[in-house]
Structure 1
Amino acid sequence: MSATAPRGSTPARAWLRALETTTLAARNPERILPRIAGEWAQRYGGQQALLSDRESFTYEELARRVNRISRWALANGVAKGETIALVMGNRPDYFAIWLGLTQIGAVVALINVNLTGPALAHCLEVASARRAIVEDAMSPAFDAAVAGAARRFEVWRHGGGAQRFDLAIETFDGAELGAHERRDVTLADRALLIYTSGTTGLPKAAAISHHRVIGWSHWFAGLANMTSDDRMYDCLPMYHSVGGVAAIG
């Protein structure tokens, strides 16, 4: 490494930043990523947070959408620890949905959208989910996979079809959750199910805690020395750990 390398560019400094960032983030057990999204809204407000050709959110818009989704879940009786399957392609709403659901203690199974037939049915079965949020374009594959399943799903469609999730959440308030709405969700609680690729058999579900979510996202931010002035292109699938947690958080 050259002696003239800019400050912060050495591997040792990068690892130290990552350790410091992750350690600081994990000090408060109640400071889960959905609540951090509320902090982002207060700090950055109208600055752009997530951009795509499908929808875009400022930090304030993201926080309000997260809270609407949380209130939808509360109104529909989603219990803490209940698993909801999310079958959706990459878009900003993907992140908002799992943040909103996990904020009230639900667990979100991030389903690989390339799966069909028995492999898709297997992932839905091992998640033990009874509700699913399915992007309209993914509905044919989803419906075919669950047609013969013993488990019956309460299916909410996004972007088309019956029982529209994206329309339903618009009826809820986006303000910060009140004390009577907040649930006791901490870093120790489970947040996500993320699946292996299935190259050596059927995909296996890995349980991801809120602590792991914070660790991955803050580790990457510290390692890359990211700031609020940076803009990053996410070309990886959001149903997996790097594209959907580390890069986004």
Structure 2
Amino acid sequence: MSPFWSWVTGVATGLVALHMLQRLCFPYFWLDLKFLLKALRYGLAVESCRLRGRICTVLDKFMRMAEKQPDKPFLVYEGKVHTYKSVDKQSNRVAQLFLKEGVLKRGDTVALLMSNEPDFVHVWFGLAKLGCVVAFLNFNIRSRSLLHCINSCAPKMVVVGADMLGTLEEILPSLQEDIRIWVMTKDSSLPRVDSILDKLEVSSDNPVPDSLRTANSLKDPHLYIFTSGTTGLPKPAVISHLQTLKGAAGMWAFGVTPDDIIYITLPLYHSAASLLGIGGCINLGATCVLRKKFSASQFWSDCKTYNVTVIQYIGELCRYLCKQPMKEGERNHKVRIAVGNGVRTDVWKEFLNRFGDIKMCEFYGATEGNICFMNHTGKVGSVGRTNFFYKLFFPFDLIKYDFQKEEPSRNKNGWCERVKKGEPGLLLSKVNSKNPFFGYAGNKQDTEKKLICGVFKKEDFYFNTGDLLVQDEDDFLYFWDRTGDTFRWKGENVATTEVSDVVGMLEFIQEANVYGVSVQGYEGKAGMASIILKPNKSLDVEQLYEHVVTYLPSYARPLFLRIQEIMDVTGTFKQQKFQLNAEHCLHFEMSIFPHNNLWKWWLHS
């Protein structure tokens, strides 16, 4: 054999050996590299615009799409098509209306209390065109909690959907006099409340000046999205233009294309539906099918009717679909990608076995957080994967957590300690100029509570996610549990202190302690209320039921009740939840009704 062919044979043999070695030792190398390069490409494009002095927001991208493809369907709602051009013009009418009223200026906050409908997007974009910050209110909450949310974001105006008038009437007498109230109706008989739809009919659809919406920095606030975080009442997380751009890239990163049709049944006040769903649709120039409320029985028929190719989910949504009676032809759809979070491994497998070969794109992220994991490999049960390059750009750590003290463990030198692979650890994400934490609107104290300093060395700062994750030997990450005074039920975060305050309002209850408990076969944790009765008072279950139904959204209502004589506390006099939860796991065999309006009380003394 000639030297040349010997050289070629040697090179080929070496390449094959390297390939086999890579497959054996680094099986996800090419998938990781492809995903990393995709993320870097997007980040460089955003940074390139910034360096050229051009700040391009998601709203700017929408307006460009409206010029580029004016007649392409943007929103499909209850069979009606809303094109990019028509949504752009309707949002112009909203902007022109409020500009003419002269009550808003650039930087003002407007709270939006609306359910899923095209007008949610029209008002959102119209206000954004005036440079206003829009606060998305959770339409499930009422009374005191809703008032707290409105007051915490200090809005100049509140815009309310037509189907939320009952909720508005409850709080109207308590709203500050200087807050203007507008409703999506043609007339209004309520005091201090103006109608919008009649005025939009005569409002101009010409664009407002570009200077009103132009962002000075990607770190300027664009939205306030309420999150329970880990303690207390809901807090308005500051969502910057940078975060909306990152959220809008999620669909593209998972392989969604401009030709896809995205089905959104999650509430738009959630970051998943608004940033990832609507934002992702805009980023691609795709079409979104929007539904007012999720329906398990109508889900697949909607997918067939509208030729849906991409769906958004939370874990409970997938479980509800799997619990539906089997129907002939339920695999006869065009859905190829599902994007979401919180699905259990068993439900994940059942979902695929039942509904077909769908690419499940699980991710992890907190609304106010500065870190996100994306499962780009399809590993069942994992929320994402990390590697050397990922940690280089998005540094994070999993540290030991003291469940008794409910705080990070520290060694004798005062430093936190990393957990070993396979052990659950508290997820901390480093805060720096590239991965900032924007905190909560108007609440410096709550913002500071989410930061941990002096973790591994003096003056380092980390964002405390409040979540426990596990990293396996192959660097896949798995959600394990939530810490703090929050649990997750029906896809929503429930702040235990808020529920405790509501339960404690009853005259026969001396003290209430609320915590989440695991229920076999269900996602997340259900609420357990542990109470102490006042001396010489008896439990009135009917009154308690009516009270929590009135003041709490369905997902926050405790499903179990426990009566105690003494309330356990920690060494720092905080209510003991960890021990109560452990006792529950040992001593209770539970079942609950799957419907929101039915309870089964489990009395234990």
State TM-score, norm by structure 1: 0.86
Counterpart residue identity of residue 32, structure 1: T
After TM superposition, give the deviation of residue 88 of structure 1 in Å. 0.2
2: CA distance between counterparts of 1:100 and 1:176?
10
Summarize the alignment of residues 145-164 of structure 1 with structure 2, pairs less than 5 Å apart.
Answer: 145-159=171-185, 161-162=187-188, 163-164=194-195
1:114 aligns with one of 140, 158, 161:
140
* Structure-2 residue corresponding to 1:41: 66
Q: Which aligned segments of 4 or more residues in structure 1 are displaced greater than 6 angstroms?
A: none
After TM superposition, give the deviation of residue 177 of structure 1 in Å. 3.4
Q: Is 1:67–2:92 an aligned residue pair? A: yes
* Structure-2 residue corresponding to 1:142: 168
1: CA distance between counterparts of 2:209 and 2:156?
27
Q: Is 1:94–2:124 an aligned residue pair? A: no
2:196 aligns with one of 165, 178, 187:
165
2: CA distance between counterparts of 1:151 and 1:145?
12
Summarize the alignment of residues 3-42 of structure 1 with structure 2, pairs less than 5 Å apart.
Answer: 10=31, 12-25=33-46, 27-28=49-50, 29-42=54-67
Contact 1:95-1:244 within 8 A present in 2 as well? no
1: CA distance between counterparts of 2:148 and 2:41?
39
After TM superposition, give the deviation of residue 161 of structure 1 in Å. 4.3
After TM superposition, give the deviation of residue 246 of structure 1 in Å. 1.4
Counterpart residue identity of residue 124, structure 1: I
Provide the secondary structure at the position in 2 that maps to 1:211. helix
Contact 1:55-1:92 within 8 A present in 2 as well? no
Which stretches in structure 2 are left out of the alignment for 5+ residues?
1-22, 24-29, 189-193, 280-605
1:221 aligns with one of 251, 259, 264:
251
Provide the secondary structure at the position in 1 that maps to 2:164. helix
Q: Is 1:230–2:255 an aligned residue pair? A: no
Greater fraction of residues in helix: 1
Contact 2:131-2:212 within 8 A present in 1 as well? no
Deviates more, 1:168-177 or 1:111-120: 168-177
2: CA distance between counterparts of 1:178 and 1:201?
41
How many residue pairs are counted as aligned between the two chains? 240
Contact 2:186-2:196 within 8 A present in 1 as well? no
Contact 2:223-2:238 within 8 A present in 1 as well? yes
Which stretches in structure 1 are left out of the alignment for 5+ residues?
4-8
Measured against aligned partners, the alpha-carbon deviations of 1:172-200 in whole angstroms (never above 9, x if no partner) come to 32233346x64543433211110014774
After TM superposition, give the deviation of residue 131 of structure 1 in Å. 0.9
Measured against aligned partners, the alpha-carbon deviations of 1:205-236 in whole angstroms (never above 9, x if no partner) come to 11111222122112x13212222201011121
Contact 1:104-1:182 within 8 A present in 2 as well? yes
Q: Is 1:247–2:260 an aligned residue pair? A: no
* Structure-2 residue corresponding to 1:205: 236
Greater fraction of residues in strand: 2
Counterpart residue identity of residue 217, structure 1: A
> Could you say if the C-alpha distance between residues 193 and 54 of structure 1 is closer, same or farther in structure 2, counting changes exceeding 3 Å?
farther
Deviates more, 1:202-211 or 1:26-35: 26-35
1: CA distance between counterparts of 2:114 and 2:261?
23
1: CA distance between counterparts of 2:214 and 2:253?
31
Greater relative CO, 1 or 2 (CA 8 Å, sep 6+)? 1
* Structure-2 residue corresponding to 1:6: none
> Could you say if the C-alpha distance between residues 33 and 43 of structure 1 is closer, same or farther in structure 2, counting changes exceeding 3 Å?
same
Provide the secondary structure at the position in 2 that maps to 1:173. coil
CA RMSD of aligned residues (A): 2.4
After TM superposition, give the deviation of residue 126 of structure 1 in Å. 0.4
> Could you say if the C-alpha distance between residues 59 and 208 of structure 1 is closer, same or farther in structure 2, counting changes exceeding 3 Å?
same
Contact 2:157-2:180 within 8 A present in 1 as well? yes
2: CA distance between counterparts of 1:117 and 1:240?
20
Provide the secondary structure at the position in 1 that maps to 2:225. strand
Identical residues among aligned pairs (%) = 27
Provide the secondary structure at the position in 2 that maps to 1:247. helix
Counterpart residue identity of residue 238, structure 2: A
After TM superposition, give the deviation of residue 15 of structure 1 in Å. 4.4
Counterpart residue identity of residue 94, structure 2: I
1: CA distance between counterparts of 2:206 and 2:69?
16
Provide the secondary structure at the position in 2 that maps to 1:38. helix
Counterpart residue identity of residue 243, structure 1: A
Deviates more, 1:163-172 or 1:188-197: 163-172
* Larger Cα-atom Rg: 2
